[in-house]
Amino acid sequence: MMRVIENQWYPVLESRELKRKPLGVERLGRQLVFWRTSDGLPHAHLDRCPHLGAALSSGNILEDHLVCPFHGFEFDRIGKCKHIPAIGRKGKISKEIEARHFPIREEFGFIWLWWGKEPESYPQLPYFNVLKAGWQYGTVVTEWPVHYTRAIENQLDVAHLPFVHRTTIGASGHSFVEGPYVEANEQGIKVWVTNSIDEGQRPRSPAELAESAATKEPGLHFLFPGVWLLNLSPRLKNYIAFVPINAQKTRYYLRVYHHVRIPLIRQLFEMLMGISNRFILNQDKRVVLTQTPRDSSDAHQERLIRSDRAVSQFRRLHERLLEQKALSCQQATTMDVSLYPSSIKEDS
């Protein structure tokens, strides 16, 4: 079974992908079914009928019940079986006949699934405060045959640009990586990118890098379990939600966030940004697909260097979070993605 960090909200679908019809998809290594009740609320279950294992996603919705296509068992939004045609309206339904359901939220144009123990109260969704209001966005969706760790690390790697993106965003040949200055904790990783042309200059000291980071927004910001922000300018951001499909496949929801409001221009702008982002991402894809082992948790033999600091922090925290199955509900409720109270400040 695929290993993923527990006790997290995972973005799993864009809202627009889920209509009224049951939708069967693979996420986090499990077959899941999503559907909406008449009030528009989304629901999620394991896509396996507790009766004889048929896929509920090939069923239909009847009066706010999800109906199995095999023998017509009906399940409500929390998976309780409400009707078994073969035993009649008066038949007694065992409590054990239940379609496992998952807590779910719908916000910021995504459907989020809670993976883990049900806490008394849930932590807030891992989303960037800066994106919460006033933006337009366009999305590009793509799937790569890679483990999510390699997909995420690729977007935290600040040294590959002059090589992988030689013809695009790496054309300036800024191969010399100062730092990068990184702040990281179990909520996320912030990276201040300061790359330049190698002219034999002395790299700035950690203290100098920290000082300049103090007055600037990080260039890259990642939040566990898998959302990422590239700070292109105060009014333009790229965002990726990395959605684990299974151990061999990751789905990317790549959004450009902007402020272009005039409908036709907006469409054109999003189309052009989409084409360019897809092109750049394909440059990454060619190399990331070749990385072995597929799951970076198994890559103990790899020798990371100073410029890989964001990647090494990701590995360290990812491993720690994977092991924290017993993260207490109390801890979970105190997570605050906008604060870095226990930041591990990098200083070497």
| DSSP string computed for 266-310 | HHHHHHHHHHHHHHHHHHHHHHHTT-SSSSGGG-TT----GGGHH
Classify each residue of 69-107 as buried b or exposed e, where b means 16 or more C-beta atoms within 10 Å of its C-beta.
eeeebbbbbebebebbeeeeeeeeeeeebbbebbbbbee
Nearer to Fe ion, 37 or 175 (CB): 175
User: Among candidates 231, 259, 257, which has minimal Cα distance to 131?
Assistant: 257
Nearer to ligand FES, 82 or 165 (CB): 82
Nearer to Fe ion, 74 or 284 (CB): 284
Which one among 51, 80, 266, 294 touches ligand FES, defined by CB under 6 A? Answer: 51
Residue 35 makes contact with ligand FES by CB under 6 A: no
Residue 62 makes contact with ligand FES by CB under 6 A: no
Cα(290)–Cα(230) distance, integer angstroms? 24
Which one among 4, 18, 49, 111 touches ligand FES, defined by CB under 6 A? Answer: 49
- Given Fe ion, ligand FES, none, residue 66, with its beta carbon under 5 to 8 Å by kind, binds none
Residue 239 makes contact with ligand FES by CB under 6 A: no
Q: What's the closest the beta carbon of residue 53 comes to ligand FES, in angstroms?
A: 6
Contact by Cβ (8 Å): 46, 26: no
- Given ligand FES, Fe ion, none, residue 49, with its beta carbon under 5 to 8 Å by kind, binds ligand FES
Burial class of residue 243 in the structure, from the number of CB atoms within 10 Å of its CB (0-12 exposed, 13-18 middle, 19+ buried)? buried
Which one among 52, 78, 171, 275 touches ligand FES, defined by CB under 6 A? Answer: 52
Residue 183 makes contact with Fe ion by CB under 5 A: no
Residue 330: Cβ within 10 Å count: 10
User: Where on the chain is the footprint of Fe ion (CB under 5 A)?
Assistant: 284
User: Where on the chain is the footprint of ligand FES (CB under 6 A)?
Assistant: 49, 51-52, 54, 68, 70-71, 73
